[in-house]
Structure 1
Amino acid sequence: MTVLQPIKPAKKARIGLYSIGLQEYWQQFEHLRERLLEYNAFIAARMEEYGEVYNFGLVDTEGKGRQAGEWFNANNVDIVFCHSATYATSSVVLPVHQMCRKHAVILNLQPATRVNYDLTTTGEWLAHCGACPVPEISNAFERAGIRFRVVNGLLGLDYTPVVSLTDETTHLRPEAIRAWTEIAEWIRSAAVVRTLQNSRFGFLGNTYSGMLDMYSDFTMLQSQIGFHVEILEMCDLNRMLERVTPEEIASKREEAYRMFEISEDSPADPLARRPTEEQLEWAFKVAAAQERFVREYDLDALVYYYHGAPGNEYEKLQSGFILGHSLLTARGIPCAGEGDLKTALAMKICDMLGTGGSYSELVVVDYEDQTILLGHDGPFHIAISEGKPVLRGMGLYHGKLGSGISVEAKVRTGPVTTLNVTQGRDGRLKMIAGCGLSTGGDIMRIGNTQTPVRFNQHPDAYMARWFAEAPTHHCALSIGHNAQLFRKVAELLECSFVTLCGE
């Protein structure tokens, strides 16, 4: 994916880590404590690739467990990893998580693929028996109402400790690679949650009238996700427009010509034509105002739609939105049209995970290619484009007032995942992920983004499953197969999650 400089970089996760053992062991088995601390330091160093690590070290008594929990609270961690280094009673572990109620992940990471059966002593065995207490800990967590998950696999050392009696070099083993992939996913997901809880979503204008799936309760969103919704008016943006300088317009022109192709007239649709110089100049000016707007209000995402009297000045202002909002989306400020806050959230999640997140809806089914075209006439995530997107002049925005410039593009060929954020009758948010393949097939040349996606079933069967989950009609389209990442984000946010990926 083309990486553009973000306007507001995502926050790093604050990771709590500790290893467990029994205090009685240290006098009984020479070097065992030091060996487990060496494993602990290795895990901490690996985790630092993804976030800020707060490593308590060894928890080997019930009292130490309480201290660790309080220490994690004091450091405001987002997630707590319990490294099951050797046997420890559940009474040692439970207090950590009763004090610090953040999501718990137990790391059952065995140092070697097998013990040396001929030479292994009790002390050597204890360095490899991390799986032994996990059932006991799991039961204690369940009975205490503590949410947890377990990562199983190999530790992944690229050397063997001096005191070891067997080969512990396991970093190339699939069990180690798989385990560390899952650990990284948990940390990346925790970073999403931290960023969302410190985010400001701008809501400009209103929701497109009559789209009942998109109406959102701002308080509900803040209570469930944590972001603040800043309600904004077109006059706020118009103030920014009045301050735009010729230098800013020239800068946006250069940025747009670098990222887009300028279209000729569409061979099929008389409404889709080469942009006029007047349309381009207006779009560049509005794009400069939009960036000022985002910076002025310190926004992390923007949702917008304006409906007013025909021919008023704000209608003209809205006609220049799509270029600037596409540029902002590519720089980490996802912009969702039609007042769709829930899809802005889906786009933000995708973007923070480095997978794009383009504003989409179901466009049309191609029964011959067995694909579903997904796209929209709104903002596109340029960073995940197949080739250079096209700027096309639109004589009319379908279903809306006004005309202007639109983006015609498709997401690059390869694995993709859709992410819907919807809401049920209980008021709770639900995430729906669908995995498919962007085929690179033909698209219409009408000034809309469109990506042909082949899912894992016939389009009719797939749509039946999708629609049964009561999604909103918009979704975020991301590159890669990301259902397991999205599942972890949903779990940390305590949202329900459905995958249509057959996983």
Structure 2
Amino acid sequence: MYERKDLKKPRIGIYSMGLKTYWAQFPGLKERLIEYGEFIAGRVEAFGAEVYYYGLVDCEQEGKKAGEYFNEIHADLILAHSATYVTSASILPIHQICSAPSVVLNLQPTARINYQKTTTGEWLAHCGACPVPELSNAFNRAGIKFRVVNGLLGLNHTPEISMTDEITAERPEARRAWKKIEEWILAAKVKCNLQGARFGFLGNTYSGMLDMYSDFTMFQAQTGAHLQILEMCDLDRHLQSVTGQEITEKRKEIKEFFIISEDAAADPLAQKPADAQLEWSAKVAVAQEKLVKEFDLDALTYYYHGAPGNYYEDIQGGFIVGHSLLTAKGIPCAGEGDLKTCLAMKICDILGLGGSFCEIVTVDYDDNTILLGHDGPFHLEIAKGKPILRGMGLYHGKQGTGVSVEAKVRTGAITNLGCTQTIDGRLKFIISEAESTDGEIMTIGNTQTPVRFKKDPDFYMDEWFAESPTHHFAMSIGHQGSLYEKVADLLEVQSVTLG
């Protein structure tokens, strides 16, 4: 019924810099530097970006034209290739005219010049670092943020004009530089996909969770995303239109995605789901997808505390299965009305890294791990095996009963991305790299993942609590600390990475 939305590709503007005077003095240099620039453009395109290579900027007039060009293509990020020396007066106009964030690429074509044979023209093809301090000074005095990637260009061939070996693709300095460049591209992908993204807010925030409360205007101002306030009657309207055939198809999908618990769990509240519970969860899941489609949502946060025996209480009792399915399809769903963690989940999902809704469950001091998870939606794409569905006799701390998901994130490197709010109303990211283990979890119908941090649990929690976090966060796969730092940079959000 609902296909995963296509993500927008970031628009990356690229230019190479040089000094116009050189071209007549050193034949072949201009063409050589353009070839380097085209190589960079090809590598960046392979990262899934729309690439717009302007060519050489070698004088003030070209700088003005390039700035206007990058505005015309609505660049999300500009990569400024420091190909050889250039005057800062040629470059500054680009970034004064186009306000897109930019990264200077100081990528030297060779690891070592041929000292015995090198001519001035040859040296100029390798002196990209020379203008970077001048550019840094000019940018700083103009109030323009300055970023740089240093390293090797990473060619897999040597140009005929060259007097040295330029095959550096396997050098660590090239690999490191291109990893950073890829991260900047991915960070731009996050920013451009958040711009105009539609976050649904269904119901309200869990009463008394002060860390959950967010200023909706603040959220849009800092992310560029739209917030669509939804009512339970919006969902109920779709629920009334669900057909028997749609329920049958949804139950097939549920059977594909999940293991239906047959065993008797340790907790008498978490047992085999009744057929009526599965039927209701499937019906609600169909309505949830219709709601997402009607409002063109990219993410959803929700909570509804219905009065005992109220019809809307019954509806929210069927939320978890459908919201887990939506999360797997690129519509992250965060419970308890946690908009900030929904943002963190969406960032993880845009990057293809999951983003499962978590909080502290308990500490295992014998295993030196912290169990992290929640009673709610789970990102199925990063699960270790198939998640289990259990019928819940009650939702602890909440109203109603229904079907819940029991699962863990697959074993290996993970990164938690927390999103909190500071005293001045600004968003703040808290980033933690760690390792998920295949340790034991409880059979209580909740998502749980044992996680071993770089420090023992008490020292880690000392650091984490000191950052005034929201008590929820998103768990993603891989060690992604440097990537999330770049996302924070482009979003102009404060971030801290815990050791």
Using the TM superposition, name which of 20-29 and 147-156 deviates more: 147-156
Structure 1 pair 6/422, CA: closer, same or farther in 2 (3 Å)? Answer: farther
Q: What secondary structure sits across from 1:435 in the alignment?
A: strand
Q: Unaligned stretches of 5+ in structure 2? A: none
Matches within 5 A, 1:248-259: 248-259=246-257
* Runs (4+) off by over 6 Å: none
- 5 Å-filtered alignment, 1:196-235, equals 196-235=194-233
Residues 265, 444 of structure 2: 8 Å contact kept:
no
How many Å apart are 1:267 and its aligned residue?
Answer: 3.4
Cα drift, residue 253 of structure 1 = 1.1
1:11 is aligned to 2:8: yes
Offset of 1:281 from its aligned partner?
0.7
Q: Partner of 2:26 in structure 1?
A: 29
Among 109, 133, 146, which residue is 2:107 paired with? Answer: 109
Match of 1:63?
Answer: 61
Q: Separation in 1 of the partners of 2:293 and 2:265?
A: 40
What do residues 424-452 of structure 1 show as CA deviations (whole Å, max 9, x unaligned)?
A: 10111100001111011000000000000
Q: Distance in 1 between matches of 2:66 and 2:350?
A: 30
The one-letter amino acid of 1:207's match is: T
Indicate which of 309, 312, 328 corresponds to 1:311. 309
Match of 1:398 in 2: 396
Letter in 1 for 2:437: T
| Offset, 1:265 | 4.2
SS at match of 2:240: helix
Aligned-pair distance for 1:378? Answer: 0.7
**Whole-angstrom CA distance in 2 between matches of 1:452 and 1:360:** 11
Identify unmatched segments of 5+ residues in structure 1: none
Q: Residues 6 and 97 of structure 1: is their aligned pair in 2 closer, same or farther, counting only changes over 3 Å?
A: farther
Letter in 2 for 1:20: M
The match for 1:136 among 134, 141, 152 is 134
| Deviation at residue 247 of structure 1 after TM alignment | 2.4
| 1:245 matched to 2:262 | no
Alignment of 1:340-489 (within 5 A): 340-489=338-487
Q: Kindly provide the CA deviation profile for residues 35-62 of structure 1, in whole angstroms up to 9, marking residues without a partner as x.
A: 0000111111111122011111100001
Moved more, 322-331 or 65-74: 65-74
Moved more, 312-321 or 247-256: 247-256
Deviation at 1:6, TM superposition (A): 5.6
Residue pair 1:266, 1:446 contacting (<8 A) in 2 also? no
Out of 86, 92, 104, the position equivalent to 2:84 is: 86
Looking at structure 2, the residues matched to 308 and 241 of structure 1 have their Cα atoms a distance apart, in angstroms, of 17
Measure the CA separation in 1 of the matches of 2:345 and 2:51: 27
**Which residue matches 2:192?**
194
- Using the alignment, how far apart are the partners of 1:202 and 1:306 within structure 2? 14
Per-residue CA deviation, residues 159-180 of structure 1 (Å, 9 max, x unaligned), is 1111111111111111111111
Conserved 8 A contact 1:6-1:332: no
Partner amino acid, structure 2, of 1:309:
A
Task: Output the CA distance in 2 between the equivalents of 1:248 and 1:20.
Answer: 58
Secondary structure class of the residue paired with 2:147: strand
2:336 is matched with which residue? 338
| CA offsets 1:91-132 (integer angstroms, 9 cap, x no match) | 111111111112110000011111111111100000010011
The 2-side partners of 1:147 and 1:9 are apart by 31
Question: TM-score, normalized by length of structure 2?
Answer: 0.98
> Matched residue of 2:227: which SS?
strand
- Whether the 8 Å contact between 1:265 and 1:272 is mirrored in structure 2 is no
Q: Is the CA contact 2:307–2:399 (under 8 Å) kept in the aligned structure 1? A: no
Which whole-Å deviations, capped at 9, do the CAs of 1:347-379 have from their partners, x for residues lacking one?
Answer: 000111111000000110011101111000010
**Identity level (%):** 66
The residue type paired with residue 477 of structure 2 is I
Q: Distance in 1 between matches of 2:181 and 2:223?
A: 22
Q: CA deviation at 1:249?
A: 1.4
- Check conservation: 1:110, 1:155, Cα contact below 8 A: yes
Q: Does the 8 A contact of 1:193 with 1:492 survive in 2?
A: yes
Aligned-residue Cα RMSD (Å) equals: 1.0
SS of the residue 1:243 aligns to:
coil
